[in-house]
Amino acid sequence: VLYPDLPEHGLIVLIGASGAGKSTLARTWPSSQVLSLDALRGTVSDEPGNQEATGDAADILKLILERRMARKLNTVIDATNVEETVRMELVTAAKRHGMPTVAVIVATPLTVCLQRQSLRPDSRRVPEDIVRSQHRAMVHSHQRLTAEGFNTVIFADALNRLEPYLNRLSQ
C-alpha cells in the first residue's frame, strides 16, 4: 500500500497538469490497476499524443473502469482529470458500485511542468498555454474535491513526497 490512508480497493483519481508526474506516480501501482488515457489513445489511434483520439480513449477507459469496479478491483486513473465534469463521471460510477474514491493531487510547480515539456519529443510535448491552463484548473479543483464526493483527498507533491516512493520502487 502506497499511502497508509488509501483504501485497499477503490477508485484513485490522479489530478495534475501535463508533466506533473502522474504517470511516474502511477507506476508505483501494479500496471493492471492503472488506466492511462495516453496509453488508450495509443491503443485506438497508434498515437498516444493524438488529441483527436481523446473521446474514443475516454469511452474505453470508462468501459474498463466499469468492468473492474463490478469486480471491486482497485483502479488508478492516469489522466489530467483537472475538469470537474470528467471527475464527476468517475465519482458517480464509483458510488454506483459502492467503491471508495480518492483524489491524489499531483501539485508539481508550473515551472517544473513546463520545463519537463521541453525535454519531451515533439509528439509528446503539450503546448505551454495548455499546461498553464491545466495547472490553473488543478489549483482551482483543490477546494472542490470533497464537495464533488471524493472520500479522501491526498497531495503528492512530486518534488518532495514522491521521492521516497520512487526510491522504494527502485529497491
Footprint of Mg ion on 13-42 (CB under 5 A): 23
Coil, strand or helix: which one is 146?
coil
Q: Is 21 in the site for ligand GTP (CB under 6 A)?
A: yes
Q: How far is the CB of 26 from Mg ion (least distance, A)?
A: 7
How many residues belong to the site for Mg ion (CB under 5 A)? Answer: 1
Footprint of Mg ion on 62-121 (CB under 5 A): none
Q: Is 116 in the site for ligand GTP (CB under 6 A)?
A: yes
Please identify which residue in 74, 80, 81, 101 interacts with ligand GTP, judged by CB under 6 A: 80
At 114, list the grid cell: 513546463
46 conformational bin, left if phi > 0, alpha if psi -120 to 50, beta if neither: left
Q: Is 75 in the site for ligand GTP (CB under 6 A)?
A: no
Residues pairing with 77 in the sheet: 13, 35
DSSP 53-111: GHHHHHHHHHHHHHHHHHTT--EEEES---SHHHHHHHHHHHHHTT--EEEEE----HH
Contact footprint for Mg ion (CB under 5 A): 23
Contact footprint for ligand GTP (CB under 6 A): 16, 18-24, 38, 80, 116, 126, 158, 162-163, 166
